[in-house]
């Protein structure tokens, strides 16, 4: 018989008696749960749960899971409320870093001069595992590094003596008026970086006047993100396609009922990439697995692998008509990387593409977003695509207003940022998210004046040149895709 307090709640001493793999109770947000029968099903392995057997696991649980996920447990797993506050956290474990003096006062947000500055503050405020997950790329991380490095090979041709007293960078993307043609792209596990997770991003997006793309693998629920938005605030839904089409349809149609105004289907992730920096941190976390579990759980897979077991690797072009039949939301394909696939997307009748290499986290040696954008735009122009109706977005390594200018001039309708938004949130909460976009606005305003482009419409491909991209087109002719082999960009670059 469980020992109860006078008010009927379980005593924490009673929970502490159930502290083994065979009899594993944990406390989550003031409620006790018997997770003994769930250990083998936990995507992150049994070890991390057993580590908290008989104890309060709320602080480890909340950054990674929506709080209402416990409702999916069998009813008999719930043992009831627990009396008293959670005990103080124990001292750091031996495998954690020693204090390195990072407890100095956090600088005022006004001292953040550029987007990179936020990383210094954010790294001090999150766990090693969270930082490794955020900053990891696939394999040797070349694609991760190249996403931004590629911008250094793209140069600008400014116009002079243009009246640029008034600068207007506002835009309309998928029918929504925004202060700058940018959006927060989908990123997983927001509570690793802030206690409110994606809800904090919702508030930050509203303050910045940009759209939030809400992720399938969020720490917050769809309902929580929806409830947090301001009246009229736009949100899009990013979809990892579940192996169960019934589940997928339920998610898509719920998003539409709630008012999400765009469906972004991730198409570049039939398997999530090997992110070794993340994997090493996860290996430490699960190193205490019992022998019984060691043969069942791959301890080297990391957070990314642990959360991706439901993604359907059989997703293909033949599924696109089905998606078009179950929703009236605009459908964008997220992760298109070639001219061929840009053309096929257009021919399939979707509403647009999102040119992206998944932040360099999927296929190492995939080209940068800015390089892929040139090929995709060239291919679409070559078939006479109606780019007023077919939308092209891009992400990947955008950290400067100059990066943003280059993509917009090359034809992108909007630019997404993921890591910068999370870093801003980790450092300063929703104010940090707003300030990240304010820095982009300040830098873009300067570039629009210096380039002689008072509006977004004044930005043209011939203002952006790169010999490297022209060389790529010379080596890989696009005749089999288009009747117009060379883009304005390539022609301009050929004159260098």
Instruction: Give the sign of the dihedral formed by CA 269, CA 273, CA 277, CA 282.
Output: positive
Q: Which residues, in sequence order, are bridge partners of residue 333?
A: 265, 353
Which of the residues 206, 226, 358, 391 is marked catalytic? 358
Q: Give 365's DSSP letter.
A: T
Beta strands 391-395 and 31-34 are unpaired
Tell me if 351 sits within 8 A of 331, measured CB to CB: yes
What SS3 class is residue 200?
A: helix
Beta strands 352-355 and 25-28 are unpaired
Nearest to 238, CA basis, from 180, 188, 274: 188
Whether 42 is a known active-site residue: answer: no
Q: What is the rounded CA–CA span in Å between residue 242 and residue 251?
A: 10
The alpha helices in 240-329, defined as continuous H runs, are 245-258, 276-285, 291-294, 302-306, 320-326
Q: Which residues, in sequence order, are bridge partners of residue 416?
A: 183, 395
Tell me if 461 sits within 8 A of 489, measured CB to CB: yes
Which of the residues 34, 56, 196, 268 is marked catalytic? 268
Each residue of 316-336: b (16+ CB within 10 Å) or e?
eeebbeebeeebebbbbbbbb
Whether 480 is a known active-site residue: answer: no
Tell me if 421 sits within 8 A of 359, measured CB to CB: no
Tell me if 58 sits within 8 A of 29, measured CB to CB: yes
Half-sphere exposure at residue 40, Cβ-oriented, CA atoms within 13 angstroms = 6
Which whole-number Å values give the CA distances from 462 to 76, 458, 481, 482, in the listed order?
A: 66, 11, 22, 20
Whether 240 is a known active-site residue: answer: yes
What SS3 class is residue 32?
A: strand
Tell me if 225 sits within 8 A of 218, measured CB to CB: yes
CB-count burial class (<10 Å; 0-12, 13-18, 19+) for 115: buried
Which H helix or E strand runs over 445? helix 419-451
Which of the residues 52, 183, 240, 346 is marked catalytic? 240
Active site positions, annotated: 240, 268, 358
């Amino acid at each position: 018989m469980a020992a109860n307090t006078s008010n009927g709640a379980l005593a924490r001493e009673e929970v502490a008696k159930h502290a083994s793999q065979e009899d594993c109770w944990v406390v989550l947000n003031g409620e006790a749960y018997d997770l003994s029968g769930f250990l083998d099903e936990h995507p992150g392995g049994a070890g991390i749960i057993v580590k908290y057997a008989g104890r309060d696991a709320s602080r480890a649980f909340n950054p990674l899971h929506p709080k209402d996920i416990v409702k999916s447990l069998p009813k008999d797993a719930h043992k009831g409320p627990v009396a008293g506050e959670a005990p103080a956290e124990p001292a750091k474990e031996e495998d954690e870093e020693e204090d390195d003096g990072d407890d100095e006062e956090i600088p005022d947000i006004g001292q953040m001069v550029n987007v990179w500055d936020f990383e210094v503050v954010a790294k001090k405020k999150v766990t090693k595992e969270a930082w490794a997950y955020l900053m990891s790329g696939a394999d040797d991380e070349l694609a991760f590094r190249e996403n931004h490095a590629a911008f250094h090979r793209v140069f600008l041709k400014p116009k002079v003596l243009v009246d640029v007293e008034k600068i207007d960078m506002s835009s309309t993307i998928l029918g929504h008026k925004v202060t700058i043609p940018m959006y927060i792209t989908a990123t997983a596990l927001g509570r690793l970086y802030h206690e409110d997770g994606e809800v904090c991003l919702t508030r930050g997006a509203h303050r910045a006047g940009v759209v939030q793309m809400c992720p399938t693998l969020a720490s917050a629920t769809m309902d929580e993100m929806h409830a947090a938005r301001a009246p009229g605030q736009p949100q899009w839904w990013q979809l990892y396609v579940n192996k169960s089409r019934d589940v997928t349809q339920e998610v898509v149609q719920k998003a539409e009922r709630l008012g999400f105004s765009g469906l972004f289907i991730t198409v570049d992730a039939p398997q999530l990439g090997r992110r070794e920096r993340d994997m090493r941190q996860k290996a430490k976390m699960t190193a205490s697995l019992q022998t019984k579990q060691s043969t069942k759980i791959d301890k080297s897979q990391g957070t990314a692998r642990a959360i991706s077991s439901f993604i359907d690797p059989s997703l293909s072009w033949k599924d696109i008509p089905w998606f078009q039949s179950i929703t009236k939301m605009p459908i964008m394909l997220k992760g298109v990387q070639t001219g061929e696939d840009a053309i096929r997307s257009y021919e399939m009748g979707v509403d647009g593409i999102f040119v992206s290499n998944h932040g360099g986290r999927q296929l190492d040696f995939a080209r940068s977003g800015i390089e892929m954008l040139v090929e995709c735009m060239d291919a679409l122009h070559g078939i006479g695509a109606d780019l007023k109706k077919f939308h092209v977005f891009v992400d990947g390594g955008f950290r400067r207003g100059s990066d943003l200018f280059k993509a917009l001039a090359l034809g992108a309708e909007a630019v997404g940022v993921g890591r910068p938004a999370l870093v801003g949130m980790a450092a300063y909460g929703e104010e940090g998210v707003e300030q990240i976009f304010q820095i982009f606005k300040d830098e873009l305003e300067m570039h629009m004046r210096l380039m002689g482009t008072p509006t977004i419409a004044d930005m043209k491909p011939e203002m952006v040149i790169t010999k490297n991209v022209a060389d790529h087109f010379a080596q890989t002719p696009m005749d089999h895709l288009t009747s117009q082999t060379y883009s304005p960009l390539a022609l301009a670059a050929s004159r260098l």
